[in-house]
Structure 1
């Protein structure tokens, strides 16, 4: 898609499917955007000059059209300070608060991700969004703080090379102390520990399989954080491939992944390797149960997590 009408058409096309319409009518949604809403692995600095088929050369114009179509077709309330701001939070009574992030609009261009000091080249969320997230996490009275993140924290998600050196789409860049975008995460995790923000769980996506990851400072290079879980959900209706390698910087341990051993890559949805996750909180015990499921509604994995007090 390139024009506003073409981006609108992408959303309208999905509504031809009876299952998509049923989902829209029955399931409440909290929406954040994906790179494919604009262009694979895009950032505000993406150069369109080498992209065949694009008549325009402005990624900013492309992104603006895509975002407008998304806000027209999906249930996202306009923000009073920034009409099309994606990051926001939702309170679900005393038990849960969801912090929805935007790791697309403010990021620096993908690169080798090896900078040793924070700066413009290491941005993923950007200073304003990070400050907002810190403030709202520290102020939250919810038992569980659920961070909905576009990108997984500890998975290596490649994006080609720069002068023969691997380039990265997500936070992770390989073993060692935090570098590049990892500096933003390291600072956030340290803040959560210092402020004693309890019961933080990350829910992430982007990769095309489901997984459960446990982040433990005892297994990490960077140790200034409180242990936490990350649950990767999907794909709900897309090609299936992976799994991605884990990065030990923050002690990411893969506890479960949904892919059968030796799976041929890029399996179509018709193969049935589509997945989703659920988080259920017991209102009496405040215990959370995380579960990953397949399209047959079979529970593949689950974990009960006690709330810290």
Structure 2
């Protein structure tokens, strides 16, 4: 008889007040007692937003779904009444669910947008599983995942997809369509701007064949508006297919809250005390709509999305938050050079350095929101605005095997080597940075554009392409193969074929990008 698998204890200090949700609410959204009363009849189409999983471990995974029979209901509640609903989940070794390995249930509650986040534990490492949710006679789509290898295990290969900046209104998610069809894929990393907060109007709705109602035409500022924005983006079938295919992990950048916000400050002059409320509801909507563990649960305007895990002895992945803890933008060149200025904040900076210093892995991957490589000093919204902090990061990377930085933000594919010291062209390289273009942001794009000279003026920048697409990485003990895929159009429809824009090999022990 399959075990009823319990999640990790819900005990962290922030749990008592999570943007208004109580500890009991959160706990029941992870695991509800088996004696919970039967769910009353529910409307059809509860699982319109699909399924997802994340926070991978060798022994389990966090599963996610959000009940929404009318996902685009303009009040942001997804067509759900203000009542709790019992959601059952099953994990099996086969897609027909004949070999059920674990089962349980969680309570979908209006306080968390009827989303559930059960953590499944007690599974076997490096093993394929299938999962689904049920309410009454309704079953969700089937998702799949592979647990991580056991600690220290020898791993022959691991394949990662990287995506960024998915402005739904600028184009179809063709990149997700092709990513979901990749033959070899173990994980997807979202490196920022999962949603955009802007109002969707005639001027920016470039995705042809769709319309949006009045509730989408205003900038997201309230919890209900952020929930609706996630529902709109997650209603895309290609994004749902990616989530159902493999586990996903994510860092955020700015548009999950507001364009160019820094720390607790608005980019448009909203007073900090009022903006703190907007951050709180935006972070809460992020938690509600992503397959995150309880550690990412926000406490008002504070949230901890920093996390990491090892893929046996092959790779260590570290997720960084480059938005919440950074110092304000520099006021002048002298301020920009101050050594105490930080992108990550002191605590996160120390944590990331420690993970690099004691890593047993062949490859050390840092996922972050903004570009690390030095491009132009006037781009102060990237690590260029924090040169002393960048140098500390590069110094930490120099002490770890084979560092790799994954980045998004700029809506361009860029492949660059990272110098040990960008003020010294002869300092050698300490790692590589692989910058993923957008899924939809900026529409169709073009291979070259007005920004191309800024990037390609540097010998360490090896590739630039301004079209839409995704990045695929294949990691082995001998090498990293990075493949930059693009599609030539996204505005008209989702039929564009994928094309290989560039491919590089980085041998283990050699921080170069060698065209392949």
Q: CA deviation at 1:210?
A: 0.5
Structure 1 contact 209–274 (Cα < 8 Å) conserved = yes
SS state at 1:86 partner: coil
Match of 1:297 in 2: 498
Match of 1:105 in 2: 324
Q: CA deviation at 1:205?
A: 0.9
Do residues 188 (structure 1) and 393 (structure 2) align? Answer: yes
Do residues 41 (structure 1) and 256 (structure 2) align? Answer: no
Which aligned pairs between 1:17-32 and structure 2 lie closer than 5 A? 17-32=236-251
Instruction: Select the structure that is richer in strand.
Output: 2
Q: CA deviation at 1:45?
A: 4.6
| Deviation readout 1:51-91 (Å, 9 max, x if unpaired) | 6xx9x962222111111100110112122898731111121
Q: Structure 2 vs 1, CA of residues 236 and 81 (structure 1 numbering), >3 Å: closer, same or farther?
A: closer
Do residues 118 (structure 1) and 327 (structure 2) align? Answer: no
> Which structure's CA Rg is the greater one?
2
Which aligned pairs between 1:219-230 and structure 2 lie closer than 5 A? 220-221=423-424, 226-230=429-433
Q: CA deviation at 1:182?
A: 1.0
Match of 2:478 in 1: 286
Q: CA deviation at 1:26?
A: 1.6
Structure 2 contact 412–435 (Cα < 8 Å) conserved = yes
Structure 2 contact 309–318 (Cα < 8 Å) conserved = yes
Match of 1:277 in 2: 471
SS state at 1:130 partner: helix
Match of 1:133 in 2: 352
TM-score (ref. length: structure 1): 0.78
Match of 1:245 in 2: 454
| Deviation readout 1:197-255 (Å, 9 max, x if unpaired) | 1100111111011010112358743776743211100201211474472499xx77210
SS state at 2:454 partner: coil
What is the CA–CA distance in structure 2 between the aligned matches of 1:219 and 1:118, rounded to whole Å?
15
What is the CA–CA distance in structure 1 between the aligned matches of 2:239 and 2:252, rounded to whole Å?
17
| Deviation readout 1:119-140 (Å, 9 max, x if unpaired) | 3xx2210100000001111111
Moved more, 66-75 or 109-118: 109-118
Structure 1, unaligned runs of 5 or more? 159-165, 174-180, 260-272
SS state at 2:251 partner: coil
What is the CA–CA distance in structure 1 between the aligned matches of 2:368 and 2:455, rounded to whole Å?
17
Structure 1 contact 274–294 (Cα < 8 Å) conserved = yes
Match of 1:236 in 2: 439
Q: Indicate which of 208, 211, 221 corresponds to 1:2.
A: 221
Structure 1 contact 124–184 (Cα < 8 Å) conserved = yes
Q: CA deviation at 1:16?
A: 2.4
SS state at 2:404 partner: strand
What is the CA–CA distance in structure 1 between the aligned matches of 2:434 and 2:366, rounded to whole Å?
10
Structure 2, unaligned runs of 5 or more? 1-219, 488-496, 511-516
Equivalent pairs, count: 271
Q: Structure 2 vs 1, CA of residues 81 and 68 (structure 1 numbering), >3 Å: closer, same or farther?
A: closer
What is the CA–CA distance in structure 2 between the aligned matches of 1:2 and 1:82, rounded to whole Å?
17
Deviation beyond 6 Å, 4+ runs, structure 1: 80-83, 222-225
Match of 2:413 in 1: 210
Q: CA deviation at 1:42?
A: 0.5
Instruction: Select the structure that is richer in helix.
Output: 1
What is the CA–CA distance in structure 1 between the aligned matches of 2:350 and 2:428, rounded to whole Å?
18
Q: Structure 2 vs 1, CA of residues 80 and 39 (structure 1 numbering), >3 Å: closer, same or farther?
A: closer
Structure 2 contact 321–344 (Cα < 8 Å) conserved = yes
Structure 2 contact 287–297 (Cα < 8 Å) conserved = no
What is the CA–CA distance in structure 2 between the aligned matches of 1:82 and 1:132, rounded to whole Å?
20
Structure 2 contact 470–484 (Cα < 8 Å) conserved = yes
What is the CA–CA distance in structure 1 between the aligned matches of 2:384 and 2:295, rounded to whole Å?
31
Structure 1 contact 44–60 (Cα < 8 Å) conserved = no
Moved more, 235-244 or 219-228: 219-228
What is the CA–CA distance in structure 2 between the aligned matches of 1:201 and 1:218, rounded to whole Å?
16
Structure 1 contact 189–224 (Cα < 8 Å) conserved = no
SS state at 1:227 partner: strand
